Amino acid sequence: MVEQLSPLAAAFRPGSHGNFVDGVGVTLSEMAPGSIVQVAAWPGEEKKLIAAISSITGLKLADGAGAGAVSERHTVFGFAPGKFLVTDTAEGLASTLASAVTPATGSVTDLSHGRTAIRVAGQKSEWVLAKLFAVDFSLVAFPQGSGISTAHHDIFAQIQRSSPDRFDLYVFRSFARSFWKMLCHASDEVGYEVR
């Protein structure tokens, strides 16, 4: 197994930063899952694709736009009609999915090296993310487990709410460091811990 290198490199500075005298508002971390895979269904094949994802991840997906679910090992959410992002803490998910999703059902794209997963956790995470994206991050509009596609300027981002106070962001690996720096700036005001 090849050793994973983080694209955040020296911009990833563990410890507390910014205005943390009154406590840390958000915790920022890199998730570095072993696999990040995009799967897409041909029109009319969505149910078969969802069944394949469920059988591999053990996660139940509700029917509906942006529906998703999270376990210790896997995350899944819909980010566009008939399209899902699936992650695994272990490597090799793309080949497992490819054996379950036939060409007649849809397609499987391995994005493990193409995306960087950044986790924003803490009571101020909604506040910090609302500075960057014109999206309603309230628990009512953005329920736990669900995901969205959005963009910060031209940096495309997929975001899943993995718990009431925690969001997982998937950004292009080549933009990850500049996005991370901006996220740090946005978190400065509330105090943030990198770990």
Partner 1 sequence: MLITCPYCGPRDVSEFAYQGDGNRNRPDPASTDLVAWNAYVYDRLNPAGAHNEIWQHAGGCRAHLAVVRDTLTHEILSVRFAREKGAPAHGRRKSGAKA
Minimum CB–partner distance for residue 44 and partner 1 (Å) = 12
If the CB atoms of residues 17 and 83 are measured against partner 1, the closer one turns out to be 83
C-alpha distance from residue 30 to each of 22, 126, 152, 154, 179 (Å): 24, 18, 19, 21, 12
Residue 149 dihedral angles phi and psi, to the nearest 5°: -110, 135
Residue indicated by tokens 């959410």: 77
If the CB atoms of residues 1 and 140 are measured against partner 1, the closer one turns out to be 140
Rounded-to-integer distance, Cα 81 and Cα 24, Å:
37
Instruction: List strands edge to edge, sheet with 106-110.
Output: 68-70, 74-80, 83-88, 35-41, 106-110
SS3 50: helix
If the CB atoms of residues 33 and 147 are measured against partner 1, the closer one turns out to be 147
Minimum CB–partner distance for residue 150 and partner 1 (Å) = 6
Minimum CB–partner distance for residue 114 and partner 1 (Å) = 16
If the CB atoms of residues 24 and 69 are measured against partner 1, the closer one turns out to be 69
**What residues line the site for partner 1 (CB under 8 A)?**
62-67, 79-81, 83, 134-136, 140-141, 143, 146, 148-151, 154, 156
Rounded-to-integer distance, Cα 88 and Cα 36, Å:
7
Minimum CB–partner distance for residue 164 and partner 1 (Å) = 15
Task: Give the closest residue to 169 by CA, choosing from 187, 194, 151, 153.
Answer: 151
If the CB atoms of residues 68 and 191 are measured against partner 1, the closer one turns out to be 68
Minimum CB–partner distance for residue 38 and partner 1 (Å) = 12
